[in-house]
Chain A
Amino acid sequence: MNKSWYISIFPKIGINEPLMQDIKTNLNDFGIEAEIFTIQNYMIHGALNEEQVAEICRNLLIDHVSHQYLINENNFTFPNWKQAYTITIRYKQGVMDATGLSVKQMIQSIGLKVYEVKSGTSILLKTDIEKDKLAKAIKNFLVNDLIEDFSITEEKPKKTHTTLIPLSDIDSDALMQLSKDHMLSLNVEEMKKIQHHYQKIGREPYDVELETIAQTWSEHCIHKTFSGTILYQGKEIQSLLKSFIMKATQQIEADWCISVFTDNAGIIKFDDRYGLAVKVETHNHPTALDPYGGAGTGSGGVFRDVMGVGAKPILSTDNLFFGSLDISLDKLPRGVMHPKRLLKGSVSGIRDYGNKMGIPTANGSIGFHKDYLGNPLVYAGCVGILPLKKYVRNHQTGDLVVLVGGKTGRDGIHGVTFASGTLTYESEVIASSAVQIGNPLEQKRVLDALLKARDHEAEPLYSAITDCGGGGLSSAIGEMGKDLGVEVNLEKVPLKYDELLPWEIWISESQERMLLAVPPKNIEKMKEIFELDNSDLSVIGQFTDSKTLVLTYYDEIVCNLSMEFLHKGIPKVHRNATEYPCIEKTINLEDIESYNKDLRLILAHPMVASKAWIIRQYDHEVQANTITKPLQGEMFDAHGDSCVIKPLTDSWQGFVTSNGFNPSYSRNPRKMALSSIDEAIRNNICSGGRRFAILDNFSWGNPEDGKNLGALVEACQACYEAAIAFKTPFISGKDSLYNDFKSDDGEIITIPHTLLITSVGIVPDIRKSITTDFMSEESHIYLVGETYQELGGSVFYDIRNIQDGEIPDVDLAKAKLIFDKMIQAIDQDLILSCHDCSDGGLAVTIAEMCFGGNLGVTIDLNKIITSLDKDYKILFSESNSRFVVEVKDCKAFETWMDGVPIHNIGKITGDKIIINGLVNKNIINERISDLKEIWKKTFDW
């Protein structure tokens, strides 16, 4: 007889459960004192008797050394703890419950009959707080009601089928209402174009068709703004992408670029045998709603992008941007999570996805700005490696459409159309289905099987491969079938949840799915490989030669769309850009006698402070290829520039991935973009990179606002110029353009325009890599490059609360010369250690190098040839194209660097940082150990 059983598992007395402490701390943050007891519970539905359930508990679930269990029939009670409240948290129906699934499989494998297992957590609280306040705290800090219920009520499934949506004779207002009601994010011209198309073919569209068009035409998938026409300063720009970004790549004509801007990831040559596949994605809106799931699936998604060209992921990167950490809870706008919660959640999400899949997260950073409050940014990146010969894309009529990996559920429906609109205080209610839940285990299974299918014979067993990302099957199949035609039987898609409607199956963004084209002769071998690795494989359709997209659901046609209309029908966007007002008022301060206090504040600033708390949670060693680490130096606790990865066992060649971003410079979008490229490349050089490829990732405010668009044009123009000057082709990119938050009182917060540049450089021999830590006493310290009065957007101005000032610029010709000379100086072993000058300026760079070496310095600012007349400007300016280097043989170094501005500023000595100013002595005089303690404290959570 079928019954429901509730199993509770809890620690024995005296076993310390970190989860309890964590919940307690989170509630304390909310001002709630409570005694807490946590219970892991499973609701098991099956034909089981009590004895069998007890056997499951004893043998499969508990760790008898540390835990005990309790079984209740049909209900949950827990007798030994007199709590005031019991909160039971469970995933919502249709949402991925990975643990539940594993337990179910485990029980079935021992031959017992079980139909459903739901995992959950119960929290028993002893507290005298009133229920309303507690509920609010729970909602804010413990559960995410987008994905989790804290009751046992279940969502009632909808019972309808595919419908026609009449639109042939409705007016513009009604069309727009339709777009809004169905979350299509299509504008009026697009809706009219669709209307016109259906008028022409003489019928009304099916819901599936409308959804397919909305996915395909979304900003997220088709990059309307970047490919549209823009009128700016009286000139017409045909496409930002073609006129600037891709144009640079075309003009550079690098023969080592294998695939750029066409596939899931950009591919460059690593050596003659292997290629590197690189991709960086944004996952901003999902993270705003659910940081753990949003950021985690950001990583999961970008790993699939790299798997989607047949590569094995070997490096995970993350760059995160949040509002100010010190904002008080009562100042948070409605519908916004606290930046600290967003940060912790995002880090946990990225950690769990990367760690569990075994991909080292060895590169990244975090930025803060008050205007990221409503709209945090998550950039997830991945580098993969693939044998160049295994890169295929030659599917043909007759090949099977094969879906592998996870099952399809309601999670992530409307993700891309949601990402193509503005977030509001109501988003958390409206867009709950747009959040995805990750299951890295499922994706690791898919990866293992895919690599076997790739390497089984000389040719991969598949003829094409892509990931199911934004837009789900709709985008993946629509794109793969666009030159051929395709027919898909939607009922063959394996579901997590039976009640899904055809259009939901078609556009669901459930994670961990990949799409393959497989020649029929290989399908049996493919099935065998996937079956052995416990990964699902389903044949769901076939490529045709009809040039149409045909979808059926149990023999009923639910979509019949011409590929031509779907992929080329979208009306081209025309937009007007207006000039972006760049205000850079000059600020002049008086010098003070000591900058000890300022340096301490800067080192504790979240932009600069040690990120060890985050880095140590990321497994950055897995795969054992991480040559120089994110934390370097004698105590391996000082920041490196970027990590060197050596991906092959039989070669000393490696690569470096680095980042550049400067949102605090976005008052001048041109300089912001130049600075980001300069930073990404100089950072890469420090770690030994040469021959750079770069990726652009724009996160911007609403591009329908002329000023925002003007800023975007300026930034793209700068990208083109810098790429040409540095000879660094763009190989891939991404844009996320609706990063505005509308609060309930109508205020719109737009993020600072943010451009993340990711650079991948090749390291010819990793044994020659250098790091940022000072190596030995008596070495000389040089500043390479010129320092200008460029403190606008600097950390120094931030701690002084100054909003104005000049934004750092880049002299591209000079920068190129400095970079070339630096690369060769490192190659000739003239440099012992090296660090790029960025956030916080010269003083911070030197401090970090001292932290790594546990060595002090004496520096004299008079040794710097400059027109700057104040100590603070030299110490804290963030001028670009600068490096601090440690040198033993001054003569050789100076001879080599002839023609480049270099300044011998001091020596490594003692255990203090002593800096003498232009007039005053000892403007900084601090013990390294004291500064290091301050630097480490900010994120010591």
Chain B
Amino acid sequence: MVTSLVLRVDGTNCEQETVSALKLAGSKVDLVHINELIRRMVSLEDYQALIIPGGFSFGDHIAAGKIIANYMKLKLKKDISNFIDANKPILGICNGFQALLKSGFLDIDATLLANNTGLFIDNWINLKKEADSIFTNGIQTLFIPINHGEGRFFADDIILRKLEEEQRIIFKYIDNPNGSSEDIAGIINETGNVMGLMPHPEKFVNYYTHPYWTRLPQETREKEGEGLAIFKNLVKACEKL
């Protein structure tokens, strides 16, 4: 059975729903504090997937995801690089995306800045898939929530063109909520196994968290939530390893 590691640090706060979504997708899950990895109490090698959930890691002090990113690149660089080289999937959601981007594991010189509204935003948005990846089988669009204050994807034109050409932009917003360059909501690394995604698929794994499920017919309500597909794809990718 696939075993995933959900990484938590001080200030992580979406860990429970992320664990639930992974279990629903068929994975065994361990919730592990970064100190347990740094102190070698737990070994990343023993896992098939790594998920960095949302939250305010270290209070988002300095900038969102900055301190966890520093720990990842200064203390866990080798472990994470080996994990990526073994072609195991890594998914960073929201704060996890910020962490992956700022630690360099997404192989791109880009960043996530404060929303152009200047405010934290909690809302449901539509995404469209831009490129195929191991995370996106069977997905064309996704309707899931965003919950962030620093989600504005930013890179210069050269970098944006590179991402486009290498087909590494996986999801775009249909109505850009935060001013992201090229409407970018999620990207992937060069080898295609590390994805950063700003919106929260784990918040929509059953229809009773949909923002207007009371308007939907009974048969729709009984379906699984759209976000679950991401986790199912991740588990499938692990099974193929």
Contacts and interface: CB of A to CB of B under 8 A. Distances in A.
Most buried by B among A19, A99, A441: A441
Interface in A804-848: 833
A620 B211 CA distance: 11
Nearest to B34: A534
A17 B152 CA distance: 11
Interface residues of B, number: 61
A444 B114 CA distance: 23
Q: Which of A17, A106, A357, A646 has the largest count of B CB atoms less than 10 A from its CB?
A: A106
Contacts of B149: 355
A672 interface: no
Contact of B11 (A109, A356, A833): A356
Contact of A533 (B10, B116, B119, B215): B10
B62 A60 contact: yes
A274 interface: no
Contacts of B205: 624
B58 A627 contact: no
A632 B123 CA distance: 12
B17 A624 contact: yes
A358 B55 contact: yes
Contact of B111 (A63, A620, A629, A767): A63
A15 B10 contact: no
A21 interface: yes
Contacts of B63: 63
A351 B10 CA distance: 19
Given A534-B35, A620-B122, A358 B14 contact: yes
Given A65-B154, A619-B120, A355 B56 contact: yes
Interface residues of A, number: 65
A622 B13 contact: yes
Contacts of B116: 16, 18
Interface in A1-55: 15-19, 21-22
A636 B124 contact: yes
Contacts of A622: 13-14, 17, 54, 147
Interface stretch (B66-74, B134-142, B189-197, B231-239): B66-74
B133 interface: no
Interface stretch (A188-196, A555-563, A711-719, A770-778): A770-778
A617 B119 contact: yes
Contact of B209 (A66, A626, A632): A626
A346 interface: no
A448 B36 CA distance: 15
Q: Which of A61, A65, A629, A769 has the most CB of B within 10 A?
A: A65
Interface string A405-419: 000000000000000
B115 A18 contact: yes
A656 B134 CA distance: 40
Given A22-B118, A534-B35, A66 B154 contact: yes
B11 A621 contact: no
Given A65-B109, A358-B55, A773-B212, A444 B13 contact: yes
A775 B215 contact: yes
Contacts of A627: 208-209
A420 B54 CA distance: 41
A60 B70 contact: yes
B102 interface: yes
Interface in A742-784: 766-767, 769-771, 773, 775
B56 A356 contact: yes
A620 B149 CA distance: 14
Given A60-B70, A445-B10, A532 B35 contact: yes
Contacts of A628: 214
Contacts of B124: 636
B80 interface: no
Contacts of A17: 114
Nearest to B221: A767
Nearest to B64: A63
Contacts of B111: 63, 65-66
Interface string A625-639: 111110111101000
Contacts of A623: 14, 16-17
A356 B66 CA distance: 15
A448 B12 CA distance: 10
A627 B207 CA distance: 9
Contacts of B109: 64-65
B226 interface: no
Given A441-B61, A621-B145, A622-B13, A63 B66 contact: yes
B87 interface: no
Contact of B215 (A103, A356, A617, A634): A634
B170 to A, nearest CB: 20
A646 B208 contact: yes
Contacts of B81: none
Dominant SS at the B interface?
mixed
Contacts of A775: 214-215
Contact of A440 (B59, B117, B123, B221): B59
A66 B113 contact: yes
Given A355-B56, A533-B33, A617-B122, A99 B62 contact: yes
Nearest to A25: B118
A440 B55 CA distance: 12
B199 to A, nearest CB: 11
B167 interface: no
Nearest to A362: B122
A357 B10 CA distance: 10
Contacts of A109: 71, 74
Nearest to A445: B10
A356 B33 contact: no
A283 to B, nearest CB: 21
Contacts of A636: 123-124, 211-212
Most chain B CB atoms below 10 A, which of A16, A99, A621: A621
B58 A102 contact: yes
A391 interface: no
A226 interface: no
A110 interface: yes
A629 B211 contact: yes
Among B13, B20, B114, B147, which residue has the most Cβ atoms of chain A within 10 A?
Answer: B13
Interface string B142-166: 0001010100001110000000000
Given A66-B113, A616-B123, A636-B212, A98 B33 contact: no
A711 to B, nearest CB: 39
B209 A624 contact: yes
A618 interface: yes
Interface string A339-378: 0000000000001000111100000000000000000000
Given A102-B67, A351-B120, A358-B14, A63 B102 contact: yes
Interface in B1-49: 8, 10-14, 16-17, 20, 33, 35-36
User: What are the 9 A-B residue pairs with the smallest beta carbon separation, nearest first?
Assistant: A358-B13, A18-B118, A441-B59, A624-B17, A102-B61, A65-B111, A636-B211, A99-B61, A356-B56
Interface of B: 8, 10-14, 16-17, 20, 33, 35-36, 54-56, 58-63, 66-67, 70-71, 74, 102, 109-111, 113-124, 145, 147, 149, 154-156, 179, 200, 202-205, 208-209, 211-212, 214-215, 221
29 contacts: A16-B179, A18-B115, A18-B116, A19-B114, A19-B118, A59-B74, A61-B62, A63-B63, A63-B111, A355-B120, A355-B149, A358-B12, A439-B59, A440-B56, A441-B58, A441-B61, A532-B35, A616-B121, A617-B122, A618-B120, A618-B122, A621-B147, A621-B200, A623-B16, A629-B211, A632-B211, A633-B212, A636-B212, A775-B215
Interface of A: 15-19, 21-22, 59-61, 63-66, 98-99, 102-103, 106, 109-110, 351, 355-358, 439-441, 444-445, 448, 532-534, 615-629, 631-634, 636, 646, 649, 766-767, 769-771, 773, 775, 833
Given A18-B119, A358-B55, 14 more contacts: A18-B118, A98-B61, A103-B61, A440-B59, A441-B61, A532-B33, A617-B120, A618-B120, A619-B147, A621-B200, A625-B209, A629-B211, A771-B214, A775-B214
